[in-house]
Amino acid sequence: MSLIFGIETSCDETACAIVRDGREVLASAVATQIAKHAAHGGVVPELAAREHLEALDVVAEEAFRTAGVGPESIDAVAVTNGPGLMPALLVGVSYAKGLAVNWGRPLIGCNHFMAHIYGAFLHDDGYLLLTRKETYPILALVVSGGHSSLVLIEEDGKATHLGCTIDDAAGEALDKGSKLLGLGYPGGPAIQKAAAGGDVKRYHFPRPLTGTAGKALALEHQYNFSFSGVKTALLYQVREARETNADTKSDFIRDISASYQEAIVDVLSRKAIKAARDFNAHTVVVAGGVACNGELRRRMQQLIPPSMLLRLAEPRFCTDNAAMVGGLGYYYFRDGVFSPLSLDAFARLPKISRVPFAAVAQ
């Protein structure tokens, strides 16, 4: 049995977790800084770093208390070392180094994007699924504040990026859209709430890179996303509404939020299902903060072909958390792949080309 202590500080969540053998989350403690950043309408990196510094000890203690184990039981320290906000990452990485030295345990650097994908396998029989050949290929839709990507994972662990956003990420489009509508930060949950019961067809929004604008979709973009045009369309609709003042405010906000959210959900779900069909995926994964979205979850359930298994990450493992880091870190620990104490943090990292958790690879 191995217990991995996971640490996540890449953005505005300070998180520590204790995960057994990549499959059982004994504790997943998260302290969110949302209230601190909300006043600025988005995450301020230096502020995030200071908050992480203050919160880490408390969050780590909470993880130990919940798990009911002490530091002596920990076998390795896994930490997100990129991609993310540099000042924020540096705090987590430095903290992890301190713990690793102090506890005399190996240090393991983890890729945040890859950890999000693993987050979809932390509940129920996820770990077992990964050991079965029939689970592969896996098509993963990773949608967060920083990413909107489609990745194909094969049974030997090979990962291929099929596409990504060419401008804004889905979460970024929701966050910026929410700001425009005066709904606050983070935008995803705010828009979801405002959109409840709204008319999704009332306002028209484009569906970029889906080949529906009357011209054929370039092959190079078939698995790419683009959301900045949707955001610009929102800006124009808001301006127009302000000028004409034709609608009552609450109806306008509800229907425009619903139509805007629908445009994003429609593109994400249709492209993910198309990619899954094109590559004969056996499993479709939806992970990252935007995977919390109720409408996206419903749509994926509606569209998933009966021959494919849908793995929606549990909401608590969608937004940033350390359980996904402790879970992913287990595989590196099992394989004896450790990071040196000189481990660096990276705002950006090359696209992933291999995952350690495709267990059939062994």
Binding region for ligand KG4 (CB under 6 A): 11, 144-146, 171, 174-175, 186-189, 192, 288-290, 292-293, 319-320
Round to whole Å and give the CA distance between 164 and 172.
Answer: 13
- Partner whose footprint covers residue 293, from ligand KG4, Zn ion, none (CB < 5 to 8 Å by kind): ligand KG4
Residue placing its CB nearer to ligand KG4 in the complex, 189 or 208: 189
- Partner whose footprint covers residue 356, from Zn ion, ligand KG4, none (CB < 5 to 8 Å by kind): none
Residue placing its CB nearer to ligand KG4 in the complex, 45 or 137: 45
- Partner whose footprint covers residue 319, from ligand KG4, Zn ion, none (CB < 5 to 8 Å by kind): ligand KG4
Contact yes or no for 143/312 (Cβ under 8 A): no
Task: Tokens for 100, please give them.
Answer: 């690793």
Residue placing its CB nearer to ligand KG4 in the complex, 46 or 156: 46
Round to whole Å and give the CA distance between 186 and 42.
Answer: 8
Least CB distance to Zn ion at residue 10 (A)? 6
Binding site for Zn ion (CB under 5 A): 144, 320
Cis ω on the peptide bond leading into residue 83 (within 30° of 0)?
yes
- Partner whose footprint covers residue 6, from Zn ion, ligand KG4, none (CB < 5 to 8 Å by kind): none
Least CB distance to Zn ion at residue 87 (A)? 16
3-state secondary structure the chain: CCEEEEEECCCCEEEEEEEECCCEEEEEEEEECHHHHHCCCCCCHHHHHHHHHHHHHHHHHHHHHHHCCCHHHCCEEEEEEECCCHHHHHHHHHHHHHHHHHHCCCEEEEEHHHHHHHHCCCCCCHHHHHCCHHHCCEEEEEECCCCEEEEEECCCCEEEEEEEECCCCHHHHHHHHHHHHCCCCCHHHHHHHHHCCCCCCCCCCCCCCCCCCCCCCCHHHCCCECCHHHHHHHHHHHHHHHHHCCCCHHHHHHHHHHHHHHHHHHHHHHHHHHHHHHCCCCEEEEECHHHHCHHHHHHHHHHCCCCCEEEECCHHHCCCCCHHHHHHHHHHHHCCCCECCCCCCCCCCCCCCECCCCHHHC
Least CB distance to ligand KG4 at residue 299 (A)? 12
- Partner whose footprint covers residue 163, from ligand KG4, Zn ion, none (CB < 5 to 8 Å by kind): none
Q: In what order do the strands lie in the sheet with 148-153?
A: 159-164, 148-153, 138-143, 283-287, 309-312
Least CB distance to Zn ion at residue 48 (A)? 13
- Partner whose footprint covers residue 292, from ligand KG4, Zn ion, none (CB < 5 to 8 Å by kind): ligand KG4
Least CB distance to Zn ion at residue 297 (A)? 17
Residue placing its CB nearer to ligand KG4 in the complex, 133 or 351: 351
Residue placing its CB nearer to Zn ion in the complex, 336 or 350: 350
- Partner whose footprint covers residue 157, from Zn ion, ligand KG4, none (CB < 5 to 8 Å by kind): none
Least CB distance to Zn ion at residue 171 (A)? 9
> Of the candidates 293, 262, 113, which has an alpha carbon nearest to the alpha carbon of residue 199?
262
Least CB distance to ligand KG4 at residue 261 (A)? 8
- Partner whose footprint covers residue 183, from Zn ion, ligand KG4, none (CB < 5 to 8 Å by kind): none
Residue placing its CB nearer to ligand KG4 in the complex, 34 or 128: 34
Task: Tokens for 165, please give them.
Answer: 């956003």
Residue placing its CB nearer to ligand KG4 in the complex, 239 or 351: 351
- Partner whose footprint covers residue 187, from Zn ion, ligand KG4, none (CB < 5 to 8 Å by kind): ligand KG4
Residue placing its CB nearer to Zn ion in the complex, 155 or 172: 172
Least CB distance to ligand KG4 at residue 183 (A)? 11
Least CB distance to Zn ion at residue 118 (A)? 12
Residue placing its CB nearer to ligand KG4 in the complex, 82 or 106: 82
